Amino acid sequence: MSPKGASSGGRGAGKPGRGGGKAGRDAGRTERGAGKADRDGGQVDRGAGRVGRGAGKVDRGTGKIGRTGGKAARTGAGQAQVPAPRPSVAPRVARLPGAGHGLGGEQIEGRQPVREALRARRRKVAEVFMAGDLEPAPILDEIMELARRAGVPVRMTPRLDSLAKTDAAQGVVARAEPLPMAVDDELLADPAAFLLALEGVTDPRNLGAVLRSAEAAGVTGLFLPRRRAVHVTAAVTKAAAGAVEHVPIALVPGIPATLGRAARAGVWTIGLDERGDTSLFDLDFGPERLTIVLGGEGQGLTRLARQRCDVVVRIPMLGRLESLNVAAAATLACFEVARRRTRRVTAE
């Protein structure tokens, strides 16, 4: 019995041994778990390392920002130490409200145009510039006196050429508000309407010359198309010699449409064209309201404008040339109409 018991005991003891082995295996597992935990800890450490490297990237990014800031600081310091050169006497001109819109005419050049702008007082003159080396002249004294009365500053400058836009500013330039636009219906409704319509005139000197002659002949208003035509520029004001301040100007969508409205308003329209059937000097009219219509340089009246005119007349040419330019033709027509109107009123 004892051997069996011993054997049994041995096996029993073996069982506890195996149990101990199991415990050992459990402990091994525990150790492996700890090892895994260590590895996990290593992963955590490596993760922390990644975070550290991320922080390093942030630091390097910060370093870049710092270097950029340093560059900006160096640039700013360089600009402060070396200021940009500037003209010591260049006139400073403020932009006026409404500049670049409507008829234009903000820049006025020449002695007579500036004087007329101050005389007429149809728009606000902001400032007057005069060259510092001008010879004394009565018109300059008049400009200064008119400016003083209107509260307009007069600035003397030796560099007027830097401001002037034309070749002959005569030492005087003014800045003013844009010319006020007239209303076409009001021009047509005037009982004494003596109007002028220009279709497609693009040369500023021609427009200025037409305005000067029109004002001298007593024209009460001028129609200009909004597109494909010159409006009031510094060259126009110079050529007009101040007439832009006295002749109301209306911008219209198109001359043919305006002639149609004139007909409905009872205003007679006279087209001027070298192909006209009647001589300008053979017209018979009185003091009725009328509009003289002229075409642009080279092309004359358009077909639609000719059709809308009550009569189309020509200027008789006695020499070899076939026609006059638009400024000369307008001058002759305006004064012929003014002569006839004046003679008819005097006779009555």
Report helix angle 111-120 to 138-150, nearest 10: 30
Three-class DSSP labels, 289-337? CEEEEEEECCCECCHHHHHHCCEEEECCCCCCCCCCCHHHHHHHHHHHH
CATH 3.40.1280.10 fits 184-347, yes or no: yes
Sequence ranges of the chain with CATH classification 3.30.1330.30: 107-176
Predicted pLDDT of residue 162: 86
The answer to whether 182 and 208 have CB atoms below 8 angstroms apart is no
Predicted pLDDT of residue 5: 39
Predicted pLDDT of residue 188: 97
Higher pLDDT, 175 or 18: 175
As a whole number of angstroms, the distance between CA 306 and CA 31 comes to 112
Predicted pLDDT of residue 348: 55
pTM of the model: 0.70
Quote the tokens at residue 44: 């955590």
- 271-281: pLDDT as tens digits: 999 888 899 99
Sequence ranges of the chain with CATH classification 3.40.1280.10: 184-347
> Quick one: how far is CA 206 from the chain centroid?
24
Predicted pLDDT of residue 242: 95
Quote the tokens at residue 184: 């076409």
Quote the tokens at residue 142: 């008049």
- 221-274: pLDDT as tens digits: 999 999 889 999 999 999 999 999 999 999 999 999 999 999 999 999 999 998
- 129-150: pLDDT as tens digits: 999 889 999 999 999 999 999 9
Predicted pLDDT of residue 344: 60
- 294-336: pLDDT as tens digits: 998 878 899 999 999 999 999 999 999 888 999 999 999 999 9
Angstrom distances, CA of residue 329 to CA of 23, 106, 224, 304, 334: 126, 28, 17, 20, 9
Angle at 229 between CA 224 and CA 233, to 5 degrees: 90
3-state SS class at 208? helix
**What share of residues in the chain are helix, strand, coil (percent, to 5)?**
50, 15, 35
| Architecture, CATH, for domain 107-176 | 2-Layer Sandwich (3.30)
